[in-house]
Amino acid sequence: MRHETSCTEQTNLEQVQNQQTAAEQDLHRINMAGREIILIGTAHISRESVDTVIRTIENEHPHSVCVELDEQRYRHLTDKNRWENLNIVQVIKGGQIPFLMANLALASFQRRMGLHTGVKPGEELAVAAQKASEMNMNLVLVDRSIRITLLRAWRKTGFLRKMQLISTMFAGLFEKQELDEEELSKIRQTDTLSAMLEEMAEVLPQAKTTLVDERDRWMAHHIAAAPGAKIIAVVGAAHVPGIIGHLNAGAPIDITGLDVIPEKPRYSKIVPWIIPLVVAVLFVGGFFFADRSQLYDAATAWILANGILAAIGAALALGHPLTIVSAFIAAPITSLNPTIGAGFVTALVQAYCTPPTVADMEKVADDVVNLRGWWHNRMTRIVLVFFFSSLGSTIGTFVAFGWFKNIF
Protein backbone atom coordinates (compact mmCIF):
# COMPACT_ATOMS: atom_id res chain seq x y z
CA MET A 1 0.00 0.00 0.00
CA ARG A 2 2.84 2.36 0.92
CA HIS A 3 4.58 1.42 -2.31
CA GLU A 4 1.46 2.38 -4.35
CA THR A 5 1.27 5.72 -2.50
CA SER A 6 4.93 6.41 -3.24
CA CYS A 7 4.36 5.62 -6.92
CA THR A 8 1.41 8.02 -7.01
CA GLU A 9 3.44 10.77 -5.32
CA GLN A 10 6.30 10.18 -7.77
CA THR A 11 3.90 10.41 -10.72
CA ASN A 12 2.42 13.66 -9.42
CA LEU A 13 5.90 15.08 -8.89
CA GLU A 14 6.90 14.19 -12.44
CA GLN A 15 3.74 15.86 -13.79
CA VAL A 16 4.52 19.05 -11.87
CA GLN A 17 8.11 19.00 -13.10
CA ASN A 18 6.97 18.45 -16.68
CA GLN A 19 4.55 21.38 -16.40
CA GLN A 20 7.27 23.62 -15.01
CA THR A 21 9.63 22.58 -17.81
CA ALA A 22 6.95 23.35 -20.41
CA ALA A 23 6.28 26.68 -18.72
CA GLU A 24 9.98 27.60 -18.91
CA GLN A 25 9.87 26.91 -22.64
CA ASP A 26 7.15 29.58 -22.92
CA LEU A 27 9.45 32.20 -21.32
CA HIS A 28 11.86 34.19 -23.46
CA ARG A 29 14.36 36.57 -21.84
CA ILE A 30 15.79 39.51 -23.75
CA ASN A 31 18.40 41.98 -22.48
CA MET A 32 18.25 45.49 -23.91
CA ALA A 33 20.69 48.16 -22.70
CA GLY A 34 20.62 46.96 -19.12
CA ARG A 35 16.90 46.20 -19.13
CA GLU A 36 15.38 42.73 -19.01
CA ILE A 37 12.26 41.88 -21.01
CA ILE A 38 10.53 38.57 -20.28
CA LEU A 39 8.13 37.43 -23.00
CA ILE A 40 5.51 34.86 -22.01
CA GLY A 41 4.05 33.08 -25.04
CA THR A 42 0.54 31.87 -24.22
CA ALA A 43 -2.43 30.00 -25.63
CA HIS A 44 -5.51 32.08 -24.93
CA ILE A 45 -7.56 29.16 -23.58
CA SER A 46 -4.89 27.29 -21.63
CA ARG A 47 -4.94 26.71 -17.87
CA GLU A 48 -1.19 26.15 -18.00
CA SER A 49 -0.73 29.60 -19.54
CA VAL A 50 -2.76 31.19 -16.74
CA ASP A 51 -0.65 29.46 -14.09
CA THR A 52 2.59 30.43 -15.84
CA VAL A 53 1.59 34.09 -15.97
CA ILE A 54 0.69 34.18 -12.26
CA ARG A 55 3.83 32.33 -11.19
CA THR A 56 6.18 34.42 -13.34
CA ILE A 57 4.82 37.79 -12.24
CA GLU A 58 4.91 36.77 -8.57
CA ASN A 59 8.46 35.41 -8.84
CA GLU A 60 10.00 38.12 -11.04
CA HIS A 61 8.38 41.25 -9.54
CA PRO A 62 8.67 43.33 -12.75
CA HIS A 63 8.32 47.11 -12.88
CA SER A 64 5.83 46.87 -15.77
CA VAL A 65 3.44 44.23 -17.08
CA CYS A 66 2.58 44.49 -20.78
CA VAL A 67 -0.44 42.62 -22.14
CA GLU A 68 -1.66 41.89 -25.65
CA LEU A 69 -4.74 44.09 -25.30
CA ASP A 70 -6.02 47.46 -26.48
CA GLU A 71 -8.39 49.69 -24.50
CA GLN A 72 -11.55 48.23 -26.03
CA ARG A 73 -10.57 44.60 -25.55
CA TYR A 74 -9.36 45.36 -22.02
CA ARG A 75 -12.75 46.82 -21.09
CA HIS A 76 -14.56 43.88 -22.66
CA LEU A 77 -12.34 41.38 -20.88
CA THR A 78 -12.63 42.97 -17.46
CA ASP A 79 -16.24 44.20 -17.63
CA LYS A 80 -18.41 41.25 -16.65
CA ASN A 81 -21.54 43.19 -17.66
CA ARG A 82 -20.37 44.08 -21.17
CA TRP A 83 -23.17 42.15 -22.89
CA GLU A 84 -25.82 43.41 -20.48
CA ASN A 85 -24.80 47.01 -21.26
CA LEU A 86 -25.00 46.49 -25.03
CA ASN A 87 -27.71 48.56 -26.75
CA ILE A 88 -28.59 46.39 -29.73
CA VAL A 89 -30.79 49.07 -31.34
CA GLN A 90 -27.91 51.58 -31.32
CA VAL A 91 -25.61 48.89 -32.76
CA ILE A 92 -28.03 48.35 -35.66
CA LYS A 93 -28.60 52.06 -36.29
CA GLY A 94 -24.85 52.64 -36.23
CA GLY A 95 -24.35 50.01 -38.95
CA GLN A 96 -22.14 47.95 -36.62
CA ILE A 97 -24.07 44.68 -36.71
CA PRO A 98 -21.63 43.00 -39.15
CA PHE A 99 -18.82 43.66 -36.64
CA LEU A 100 -21.02 42.32 -33.84
CA MET A 101 -21.72 39.20 -35.91
CA ALA A 102 -17.99 38.61 -36.50
CA ASN A 103 -17.30 39.22 -32.81
CA LEU A 104 -19.92 36.67 -31.78
CA ALA A 105 -18.62 34.09 -34.26
CA LEU A 106 -15.09 34.48 -32.89
CA ALA A 107 -16.37 34.37 -29.30
CA SER A 108 -18.26 31.17 -30.12
CA PHE A 109 -15.15 29.50 -31.56
CA GLN A 110 -12.91 30.47 -28.64
CA ARG A 111 -15.55 29.73 -26.02
CA ARG A 112 -16.13 26.20 -27.32
CA MET A 113 -12.40 25.49 -27.27
CA GLY A 114 -12.12 26.94 -23.78
CA LEU A 115 -14.86 24.68 -22.44
CA HIS A 116 -12.54 21.68 -22.83
CA THR A 117 -9.92 23.23 -20.55
CA GLY A 118 -12.13 25.21 -18.18
CA VAL A 119 -10.45 28.49 -19.14
CA LYS A 120 -12.20 31.55 -20.54
CA PRO A 121 -10.59 32.97 -23.70
CA GLY A 122 -8.05 35.62 -22.74
CA GLU A 123 -8.10 34.71 -19.05
CA GLU A 124 -4.30 34.80 -18.86
CA LEU A 125 -4.37 38.42 -20.10
CA ALA A 126 -6.99 39.38 -17.53
CA VAL A 127 -4.97 37.65 -14.79
CA ALA A 128 -1.82 39.52 -15.83
CA ALA A 129 -3.67 42.84 -15.63
CA GLN A 130 -5.15 41.91 -12.27
CA LYS A 131 -1.76 40.90 -10.86
CA ALA A 132 -0.20 44.17 -12.05
CA SER A 133 -2.90 46.10 -10.19
CA GLU A 134 -2.62 44.00 -7.02
CA MET A 135 1.19 44.34 -6.88
CA ASN A 136 1.24 48.06 -7.81
CA MET A 137 3.01 47.53 -11.12
CA ASN A 138 2.66 49.56 -14.30
CA LEU A 139 0.05 48.02 -16.62
CA VAL A 140 0.77 48.71 -20.29
CA LEU A 141 -1.76 47.82 -23.00
CA VAL A 142 0.52 47.23 -25.98
CA ASP A 143 -1.80 45.99 -28.72
CA ARG A 144 -3.19 48.12 -31.53
CA SER A 145 -6.87 49.09 -31.53
CA ILE A 146 -8.91 46.07 -32.62
CA ARG A 147 -11.06 48.33 -34.79
CA ILE A 148 -8.04 49.64 -36.70
CA THR A 149 -6.64 46.13 -37.09
CA LEU A 150 -9.89 44.70 -38.48
CA LEU A 151 -10.50 47.61 -40.84
CA ARG A 152 -6.93 47.49 -42.16
CA ALA A 153 -7.23 43.74 -42.74
CA TRP A 154 -10.65 44.06 -44.37
CA ARG A 155 -9.76 46.91 -46.72
CA LYS A 156 -6.48 45.35 -47.77
CA THR A 157 -8.15 42.06 -48.69
CA GLY A 158 -9.69 41.47 -52.12
CA PHE A 159 -13.35 40.59 -52.60
CA LEU A 160 -12.83 36.86 -53.19
CA ARG A 161 -10.50 36.62 -50.19
CA LYS A 162 -13.09 38.43 -48.10
CA MET A 163 -15.69 35.86 -49.05
CA GLN A 164 -13.23 33.10 -48.18
CA LEU A 165 -12.55 34.74 -44.82
CA ILE A 166 -16.28 35.04 -44.05
CA SER A 167 -17.01 31.44 -45.06
CA THR A 168 -14.10 30.17 -42.95
CA MET A 169 -15.29 32.16 -39.95
CA PHE A 170 -18.84 30.79 -40.13
CA ALA A 171 -17.68 27.27 -40.92
CA GLY A 172 -16.04 27.39 -37.50
CA LEU A 173 -19.50 27.59 -35.95
CA PHE A 174 -20.20 24.02 -37.11
CA GLU A 175 -16.90 22.49 -36.03
CA LYS A 176 -16.42 20.65 -32.77
CA GLN A 177 -13.14 21.52 -31.13
CA GLU A 178 -11.65 18.82 -28.89
CA LEU A 179 -8.52 20.28 -27.30
CA ASP A 180 -6.81 19.30 -24.07
CA GLU A 181 -3.77 20.79 -22.34
CA GLU A 182 -1.37 18.45 -24.16
CA GLU A 183 -2.63 19.65 -27.55
CA LEU A 184 -2.57 23.26 -26.36
CA SER A 185 1.04 22.77 -25.33
CA LYS A 186 1.79 21.72 -28.91
CA ILE A 187 -0.04 24.79 -30.22
CA ARG A 188 2.23 27.01 -28.14
CA GLN A 189 5.34 25.55 -29.76
CA THR A 190 6.95 27.92 -32.23
CA ASP A 191 7.46 25.32 -34.95
CA THR A 192 3.79 24.41 -35.12
CA LEU A 193 2.67 28.02 -35.08
CA SER A 194 5.20 29.03 -37.70
CA ALA A 195 3.92 26.32 -40.02
CA MET A 196 0.34 27.45 -39.43
CA LEU A 197 1.19 31.10 -40.13
CA GLU A 198 3.06 30.16 -43.30
CA GLU A 199 -0.05 28.37 -44.50
CA MET A 200 -2.15 31.41 -43.60
CA ALA A 201 0.26 33.63 -45.50
CA GLU A 202 -0.32 31.57 -48.65
CA VAL A 203 -4.13 31.67 -48.35
CA LEU A 204 -4.64 35.16 -46.94
CA PRO A 205 -1.33 37.05 -47.24
CA GLN A 206 -2.87 40.49 -46.65
CA ALA A 207 -4.76 39.33 -43.56
CA LYS A 208 -1.70 37.61 -42.10
CA THR A 209 0.44 40.71 -42.61
CA THR A 210 -2.10 42.94 -40.87
CA LEU A 211 -3.28 40.58 -38.15
CA VAL A 212 0.13 39.26 -37.14
CA ASP A 213 3.16 41.01 -38.67
CA GLU A 214 2.03 44.60 -38.13
CA ARG A 215 0.91 43.87 -34.58
CA ASP A 216 4.26 42.20 -33.83
CA ARG A 217 5.98 45.46 -34.72
CA TRP A 218 3.41 47.58 -32.88
CA MET A 219 3.64 45.53 -29.68
CA ALA A 220 7.44 45.31 -29.80
CA HIS A 221 7.59 49.11 -30.02
CA HIS A 222 5.35 49.61 -26.98
CA ILE A 223 7.03 46.83 -24.97
CA ALA A 224 10.40 48.50 -25.55
CA ALA A 225 8.92 51.82 -24.42
CA ALA A 226 7.41 50.41 -21.20
CA PRO A 227 8.86 51.97 -18.03
CA GLY A 228 11.22 50.12 -15.70
CA ALA A 229 14.31 47.93 -15.74
CA LYS A 230 12.38 44.64 -15.73
CA ILE A 231 9.35 44.09 -17.93
CA ILE A 232 7.05 41.10 -18.39
CA ALA A 233 5.04 40.95 -21.61
CA VAL A 234 2.15 38.48 -21.95
CA VAL A 235 1.34 37.82 -25.61
CA GLY A 236 -0.06 35.04 -27.76
CA ALA A 237 2.59 32.52 -28.76
CA ALA A 238 2.12 33.35 -32.44
CA HIS A 239 3.55 36.82 -31.81
CA VAL A 240 6.65 35.75 -29.88
CA PRO A 241 9.04 35.12 -32.85
CA GLY A 242 8.13 38.42 -34.52
CA ILE A 243 8.40 40.47 -31.35
CA ILE A 244 11.76 38.92 -30.46
CA GLY A 245 13.05 39.70 -33.95
CA HIS A 246 12.09 43.37 -33.63
CA LEU A 247 13.48 43.72 -30.10
CA ASN A 248 16.79 42.07 -31.03
CA ALA A 249 17.23 44.16 -34.19
CA GLY A 250 18.94 46.87 -32.16
CA ALA A 251 17.30 49.70 -34.11
CA PRO A 252 14.32 51.91 -33.22
CA ILE A 253 11.08 50.16 -34.09
CA ASP A 254 9.16 52.32 -36.57
CA ILE A 255 5.36 52.08 -36.36
CA THR A 256 4.59 55.05 -38.62
CA GLY A 257 1.39 54.49 -40.57
CA LEU A 258 0.34 51.34 -38.72
CA ASP A 259 -2.57 53.18 -37.08
CA VAL A 260 -3.91 54.59 -40.36
CA ILE A 261 -7.12 53.11 -41.80
CA PRO A 262 -6.82 52.79 -45.61
CA GLU A 263 -9.38 54.51 -47.78
CA LYS A 264 -12.06 52.36 -49.33
CA PRO A 265 -11.08 51.27 -52.85
CA ARG A 266 -12.90 53.11 -55.64
CA TYR A 267 -14.60 49.97 -56.89
CA SER A 268 -16.30 49.51 -53.51
CA LYS A 269 -17.98 52.88 -54.00
CA ILE A 270 -19.01 52.14 -57.57
CA VAL A 271 -20.03 48.47 -57.46
CA PRO A 272 -23.07 48.94 -55.15
CA TRP A 273 -24.60 51.30 -57.70
CA ILE A 274 -24.19 48.90 -60.64
CA ILE A 275 -27.26 46.79 -59.85
CA PRO A 276 -29.63 49.79 -59.43
CA LEU A 277 -28.21 51.27 -62.63
CA VAL A 278 -28.70 48.03 -64.60
CA VAL A 279 -32.27 47.68 -63.30
CA ALA A 280 -33.03 51.29 -64.21
CA VAL A 281 -31.62 50.83 -67.73
CA LEU A 282 -33.68 47.66 -68.22
CA PHE A 283 -36.90 49.30 -67.12
CA VAL A 284 -36.30 52.51 -69.09
CA GLY A 285 -35.35 50.51 -72.16
CA GLY A 286 -38.37 48.28 -71.69
CA PHE A 287 -40.62 51.32 -71.39
CA PHE A 288 -39.60 52.55 -74.85
CA PHE A 289 -38.84 49.34 -76.71
CA ALA A 290 -40.80 46.55 -75.07
CA ASP A 291 -44.39 45.67 -74.34
CA ARG A 292 -45.79 47.37 -71.21
CA SER A 293 -46.91 43.99 -69.94
CA GLN A 294 -43.27 42.92 -69.92
CA LEU A 295 -42.48 45.79 -67.56
CA TYR A 296 -45.25 44.62 -65.25
CA ASP A 297 -43.85 41.07 -65.33
CA ALA A 298 -40.32 42.35 -64.66
CA ALA A 299 -41.47 44.46 -61.69
CA THR A 300 -43.38 41.48 -60.33
CA ALA A 301 -40.32 39.24 -60.73
CA TRP A 302 -38.12 41.76 -58.91
CA ILE A 303 -40.54 42.14 -55.99
CA LEU A 304 -41.29 38.42 -55.62
CA ALA A 305 -37.69 37.20 -55.98
CA ASN A 306 -36.27 39.69 -53.50
CA GLY A 307 -39.24 39.76 -51.15
CA ILE A 308 -39.93 36.03 -50.91
CA LEU A 309 -36.32 34.93 -50.46
CA ALA A 310 -35.61 37.67 -47.89
CA ALA A 311 -38.77 36.67 -46.02
CA ILE A 312 -37.70 33.02 -46.11
CA GLY A 313 -34.35 34.08 -44.66
CA ALA A 314 -36.07 35.94 -41.82
CA ALA A 315 -38.30 32.91 -41.20
CA LEU A 316 -35.26 30.59 -41.07
CA ALA A 317 -33.90 32.84 -38.33
CA LEU A 318 -37.22 32.40 -36.48
CA GLY A 319 -37.96 36.09 -36.87
CA HIS A 320 -41.14 37.70 -35.56
CA PRO A 321 -44.08 37.63 -38.05
CA LEU A 322 -43.76 41.39 -38.50
CA THR A 323 -40.05 40.90 -39.21
CA ILE A 324 -40.87 38.41 -41.95
CA VAL A 325 -43.40 40.84 -43.45
CA SER A 326 -40.87 43.68 -43.27
CA ALA A 327 -38.34 41.50 -45.08
CA PHE A 328 -40.77 40.97 -47.95
CA ILE A 329 -41.53 44.69 -48.19
CA ALA A 330 -38.03 46.06 -47.64
CA ALA A 331 -35.91 43.73 -49.79
CA PRO A 332 -37.15 44.86 -53.24
CA ILE A 333 -36.57 48.50 -52.21
CA THR A 334 -33.26 48.17 -50.38
CA SER A 335 -31.83 46.10 -53.24
CA LEU A 336 -32.01 49.31 -55.27
CA ASN A 337 -30.49 51.44 -52.51
CA PRO A 338 -26.80 50.75 -51.74
CA THR A 339 -26.90 52.90 -48.58
CA ILE A 340 -29.05 50.43 -46.65
CA GLY A 341 -29.59 46.67 -46.79
CA ALA A 342 -32.63 44.55 -46.08
CA GLY A 343 -30.86 43.01 -43.10
CA PHE A 344 -30.59 46.33 -41.29
CA VAL A 345 -34.34 46.90 -41.64
CA THR A 346 -35.32 43.40 -40.51
CA ALA A 347 -32.85 43.44 -37.61
CA LEU A 348 -34.29 46.73 -36.39
CA VAL A 349 -37.87 45.44 -36.64
CA GLN A 350 -36.89 42.24 -34.82
CA ALA A 351 -35.20 44.27 -32.06
CA TYR A 352 -38.34 46.33 -31.52
CA CYS A 353 -40.75 43.37 -31.73
CA THR A 354 -38.79 41.01 -29.47
CA PRO A 355 -36.22 43.08 -27.56
CA PRO A 356 -33.54 41.03 -25.76
CA THR A 357 -34.17 40.53 -22.06
CA VAL A 358 -31.58 40.95 -19.32
CA ALA A 359 -31.37 37.15 -19.14
CA ASP A 360 -30.63 36.98 -22.88
CA MET A 361 -27.78 39.46 -22.57
CA GLU A 362 -26.36 37.67 -19.53
CA LYS A 363 -26.31 34.32 -21.37
CA VAL A 364 -24.90 35.48 -24.72
CA ALA A 365 -21.41 34.14 -24.02
CA ASP A 366 -22.82 30.71 -23.14
CA ASP A 367 -25.52 30.52 -25.82
CA VAL A 368 -23.15 31.17 -28.75
CA VAL A 369 -21.33 27.94 -27.88
CA ASN A 370 -23.87 25.81 -29.78
CA LEU A 371 -26.09 26.39 -32.79
CA ARG A 372 -29.34 25.93 -30.89
CA GLY A 373 -28.30 28.73 -28.56
CA TRP A 374 -28.03 31.19 -31.47
CA TRP A 375 -31.72 30.69 -32.22
CA HIS A 376 -32.78 30.46 -28.57
CA ASN A 377 -31.23 33.77 -27.47
CA ARG A 378 -33.17 36.85 -28.55
CA MET A 379 -30.05 38.95 -29.03
CA THR A 380 -28.25 36.49 -31.28
CA ARG A 381 -31.49 35.79 -33.13
CA ILE A 382 -31.44 39.44 -34.23
CA VAL A 383 -28.01 38.80 -35.72
CA LEU A 384 -29.36 35.71 -37.51
CA VAL A 385 -32.29 37.72 -38.86
CA PHE A 386 -29.83 40.26 -40.25
CA PHE A 387 -27.65 37.60 -41.86
CA PHE A 388 -30.31 35.33 -43.38
CA SER A 389 -32.59 38.11 -44.68
CA SER A 390 -29.57 39.85 -46.25
CA LEU A 391 -28.50 36.57 -47.83
CA GLY A 392 -32.03 35.93 -49.10
CA SER A 393 -32.26 39.39 -50.64
CA THR A 394 -28.87 38.97 -52.36
CA ILE A 395 -29.88 35.61 -53.83
CA GLY A 396 -33.23 37.09 -54.84
CA THR A 397 -31.48 39.83 -56.83
CA PHE A 398 -29.63 37.26 -58.95
CA VAL A 399 -32.78 35.17 -59.37
CA ALA A 400 -34.64 38.25 -60.59
CA PHE A 401 -31.93 38.97 -63.19
CA GLY A 402 -32.33 35.39 -64.38
CA TRP A 403 -36.03 36.00 -64.91
CA PHE A 404 -35.33 39.25 -66.73
CA LYS A 405 -33.60 37.29 -69.51
CA ASN A 406 -36.87 35.49 -70.25
CA ILE A 407 -39.00 38.60 -69.94
CA PHE A 408 -37.14 41.17 -72.09
Condensed to tens digits (0 to 9), the pLDDT of residues 101-119 reads 766 766 665 555 544 445 5
Instruction: Evaluate whether 89 touches 27 at the Cβ level (below 8 Å).
Output: no
CA distance 322 to 345: 11
Which of 7-11, 30-34, 88-92, 178-182 reaches the highest mean pLDDT? 30-34
**336 in helix, strand or coil?**
coil
Instruction: Evaluate whether 308 touches 389 at the Cβ level (below 8 Å).
Output: no
When pLDDT is cut at 50, 70 and 90, the band that residue 250 belongs to is: confident
For residue 45, pLDDT over 70 is answered with: no
* Residue 184 pLDDT: 52
0.85 exceeded by pTM = no
When pLDDT is cut at 50, 70 and 90, the band that residue 22 belongs to is: very low
Q: Which residues pair with 31 in a beta bridge?
A: 36
CA distance 307 to 292: 22
Bridge pairing between strands 35-42 and 230-236: parallel
Higher pLDDT, 69 or 371: 69
**Which amino acid appears at position 316 of this protein?**
L
Mean pLDDT, rounded, of the chain? 77
* Residue 290 pLDDT: 60
Higher pLDDT, 21 or 258: 258
